[in-house]
Chains A and B, each alone.
Chain A
Amino acid sequence: MKQAPDRLTSLLDECKSLAFDLNFSYAKQWKAKSKYRLLVGYLPIYVPREIIHAANGMAVGILGVGDRKQIIKGDAYYQSYICHLPRGIIEMALDSNLDNFDGFLFPSICDCVRNLSGMFKLAKRGKFTRYFDYPQNFQKNIGGTFYRELLETIINDMFKLNDMKITTKHLNDSIALYNHNRELIETIYNIRQEYPWRLSAVDVYHVIRAGMVINVEKHNEMLEEIVDLISEDFGEPMDNIRVVISGSFCEQPPIGMIKSIEMAGCYIVDDDFMLGSRWIQGNIKDSSSDPLNELVDSFLTQSAPSSAIYDVADPKGARLVKQVKMRNADGVIFCAASFCDPALLDRPSLQKSCDDAGIAHINFQFHENTGQFKVIKEQAGTFSDSIKLWV
């Protein structure tokens, strides 16, 4: 069996250490190089990072602390029946992890994230803090106008801090860079679909998550190299089933859990772990005389259906079924954070869509710091065996 190239191993190690650097050292060093640079933290799931990039800023994904930081203060801010993600984030905000960040964006995904934006305001963190309340109306002249105004407000927040005007060229360039980023990510998922043994699900996780805490230029370079390296043949296929994971778009599952699922015989061929990085489906026009308008249009017409978007004709269920078919997957693992209303309230109808399409599924709940995976491993193993036996 041909071994993975050394360069790939070292790139993956780099991604791993970047992905879980809860001090965001790389981003802080990047900012320290110029007083006009901005760091804008954002929570799961989607913000148009292009506008931050074009304003000489870096959008930094804040995805919680996982099992990497002990929560002491955070638990005193949240009742036991609230998910884990905001505890770690408030802990980071109260410690020094988020120092030097200029602003924070809290995308509209649930009331916990929404209220966390107010907690940041009360705790006076960041020079600006915005709940990014994107429209749930998708008509260009209604939701589109509102969305554009929202983007302009954030652009203005940034302008007040560094006096940098976003030009048409800047924004077009940023759009092009993020288009390329999404293309490369998609390429990695496509290669994995065919040859899932070349990169483990955990590796993919680290690679994508690293991109949320570094500048897009550097991430693109890393992704290009990774794509080249995994286009070569190495490793050996296992007799695993192929699954899609659904429901982990905000609080992130522990790495041990992702590992356990694969070790139990399930190749994860698609997931929604870092949906924000893959939110826009396809490219956004990058040679426009009004690039802000292109960003608005992309939100209205190219957003991935998700639990954060009002879903009148049930495209979420249809999308999941389509995704399973496209990825040639054998089943779905519903994997939501405990107490996550958006994921858990969507689950029954998504399960029904799978049932109607004859797709097998199982379901887990987790906390980002769950430490025991024995049960999950057993269940995933049984799921894998049952599919191998009957399908």
Chain B
Amino acid sequence: MSNPKEAIKEKSMVIQKEMLANLFTELSNAKANGKKVVYTFVPGNITELILAMDMLPVYPEINALQSGMRKKSGGYIKDAEKLGFSEDVCTYVKCDIGMMLNGNIGPTGEKLPEPDLLLLSYTGCFTFLKWFENLERLYPGVEIAMLHTPYQEDGVITDDQINYMVKQLKEEVIPKMEKVAGKKLDYDRLSKMLDNSVKAEDLWVKVLETAKNRPSSIDAYFAGVYYMGPLNTAFRGTEEAVTYYEELYKEVTARMDQGLYPVTPEGEMKEERFRLVVEGPPNWTNFREFWKIFYDMGAVIVASTYTKVGGLYDQGFRHEPGKPLESLAKYCMGCYTNLNLPQRVDLIEHYIKEYKADGFLINSIKSCNSFSAGQLLMMREVEQRCGIPVGFIESDLVDPRYFSYANIKNRLESYFQMLGQRKVILAQEETVI
């Protein structure tokens, strides 16, 4: 295993770091400053509503992934297992509960405030429901609001579903939020925030689409998870998020104009041997080593499904300032894991073709049935439709026991070898023609 060099920091990275640091400072001072704290989830989040009521969001999955990156998750998971949680269940939940059992210390080393509201807007994953039921037991008496997002079981968002969500927002969720916030929702303010959301969303799509260029100047998975952060979490709807994406887009286009390759923690890539589409979340406990296997082999991820868990903006969705609640409802229902399997296969096929990928890879996550159940059939479908080599590896989000570096590296090396051979054959065929 290598010892990664100091990561190169671009201006956008510095901006994002500052945004996060400020948020965590605000969170640690929340109680003193009388700010209310809302725990909620990333996919299908309704951050603009939280921010429009001057409350501060906390995302338990982000805490879990940060714990994974800081090598704390293994201990947290074991502590949750001691409490009776099975080895078999989603490790995000156990990591979060373990973190709480250990004082709820956040990524900056400061204690996270307890929630004033548990806002269960669960999109695309049934386990979220169980997760929050467990949180309720840990914070007895806390106010709870529940927003049920119907699944796109038939591959469309219906009017019935939109009405159901809007009614929940109007009659249950917003009144509870107002009660906790101690103020009424200002719809003008919400619309202005949604306006900012749209600006950031436009820029984010432009960033993603630069990967269509050859060579791509971004890695849309490993770097993509950083890029998507502000939009998918606490900053959607803010001016800061717009500034961040303006800066990011400027940097990416400048790199593209110079024909540069993606930036990695060890500097710029020097080649683009393979263009891949990846399905599934990354592993967080060994994120850097995992990424390194790819960039060492010249493999660039040009599109990924994981970066769409917070919305499919690249497929045209935008928040609508004129129809705030309807568009929040559509947003929740449109997130990637809320798509049915045929839609997911169609999307992957589209990415492979649009981004001219050489291969398709699944990182199947032990914890996450929402992503993983059905992936083997998806893989076959994609292989049949696109005729490109498909690869399959297994790991976990935050349980270090399920990341086998040697195993994953071996599999990926064989996969890249296969991709390499195919390239040679295709090149030969082209010469003959």
Contact = CB atoms under 8 A, between A and B. Distances in A.
A82 B168 contact: no
A139 B153 contact: no
Contact of A82 (B86, B133, B137, B373): B373
B168 A114 contact: no
B134 A345 contact: yes
Contacts of A310: 120, 129, 133, 146, 148
Interface string B144-169: 10101011011000001101100110
Interface residues of A, number: 55
A110 interface: yes
Given A121-B341, A142-B172, A351-B84, A79 B364 contact: yes
Q: How many B residues touch the partner, as a band?
A: 35 or more
A365 B88 contact: yes
Interface string B121-142: 0000111011101101100000
Given A111-B125, A135-B148, A142-B171, A344 B377 contact: no
A345 B146 contact: no
B86 A139 contact: no
A137 B144 contact: no
Given A117-B340, A312-B144, A86 B373 contact: yes
B356 interface: no
A135 B164 contact: yes
A130 interface: yes
B149 to A, nearest CB: 9
Contact of B151 (A131, A143, A344): A131
Interface secondary structure of B, over-half rule: helix
B126 A114 contact: yes
Contacts of A372: none
Contacts of B146: 136-137, 310, 312
B425 interface: no
B83 interface: yes
Nearest to B166: A142
A340 interface: yes
B427 interface: no
Nearest to A350: B84
A341 B369 contact: yes
A53 B144 CA distance: 38
Given A121-B341, A312-B146, A341 B85 contact: no
- 8 A-B pairs with the lowest CB-CB distances in the bound complex, closest first: A118-B341, A131-B153, A348-B84, A345-B130, A115-B374, A136-B148, A146-B164, A344-B86
13 contacts: A79-B394, A82-B369, A119-B341, A121-B340, A121-B341, A137-B164, A310-B129, A341-B126, A345-B93, A347-B84, A348-B84, A349-B134, A352-B137
Interface of B: 83-86, 88-90, 93, 120, 125-127, 129-131, 133-134, 136-137, 144, 146, 148, 150-151, 153-154, 160-161, 163-164, 167-168, 171-172, 340-342, 344-345, 364, 366, 369-370, 372-378, 381, 394
